[in-house]
Amino acid sequence: MGLNSIKFETTDIALLFKNSLVDIDEKKQDLPNRKQSSLPVTGEQVAGGWIYLGENKKKTLVAVRYADAVHLPEKQLSFLTKLLGACSLHISDVAILNCQDHPSAQFNEILNYFNPKSVLLFGIRPAEFGMPMNFPEFQVQGYKDAVFVSCPSLETIEPDKDLKGKLWACLKKIYNI
């Protein structure tokens, strides 16, 4: 199948270009809520009841919490993509899970489904993630065959050089950079 034969639903096009398309029709159309749609956006996976971005090729789970975004806002996605690139990772290598979409998910369910080798918690404390322990931010912690690191949210880290340095030290340790 060539690129010219890919068909998109109008709701997916509107979601992909929500900040750059202008509807010149005077009638306002209500688009269905993206979270209720069964059609995934590019790179999104909907499997086993889990909605996440990426393909989890390298078993890295990125847990975030954003109430107003399907996965995470564009600015934070751009920053995360740069962080991953510095670690020689791509979005397809990780699974980005918006915990806001899975409030009743249990820690063991998440680990059993994603089977991560590393878990990056952005803006989520270990206890909020359901871990039976708590540890300080920027501490690389091993547990259940995975390494975990808890950090402030991406929007908090991005403008702060010191926080970026602490995160980078953790990433170097996790990914042997």
Q: Are 48 and 86 in contact (CB under 8 A)?
A: no
Give the residue from 42, 48, 49 showing the smallest Cα distance to 92: 42
Tell me what pLDDT residue 5 has.
Answer: 61
Tell me what pLDDT residue 38 has.
Answer: 37
* DSSP element (H, E) containing 62: strand 60-64
Tell me what pLDDT residue 39 has.
Answer: 37
Tell me what pLDDT residue 102 has.
Answer: 75
For the chain, residues with pLDDT lower than 50 are: 20-42
165 CB neighbour count, 10 Å cutoff: 11
Q: Residue 113 and residue 164: Cα distance in Å, rounded?
A: 30
Tell me what pLDDT residue 50 has.
Answer: 83
For 9-57, the pLDDT digits (tens) are: 655 555 655 554 444 444 434 433 333 333 344 455 555 678 899 999 9
Tell me what pLDDT residue 26 has.
Answer: 42
Tell me what pLDDT residue 167 has.
Answer: 95
All domains of the chain, ordered by start, with CATH? 43-175 (3.40.470.10)
Report the chain's mean pLDDT, rounded to a whole number.
80
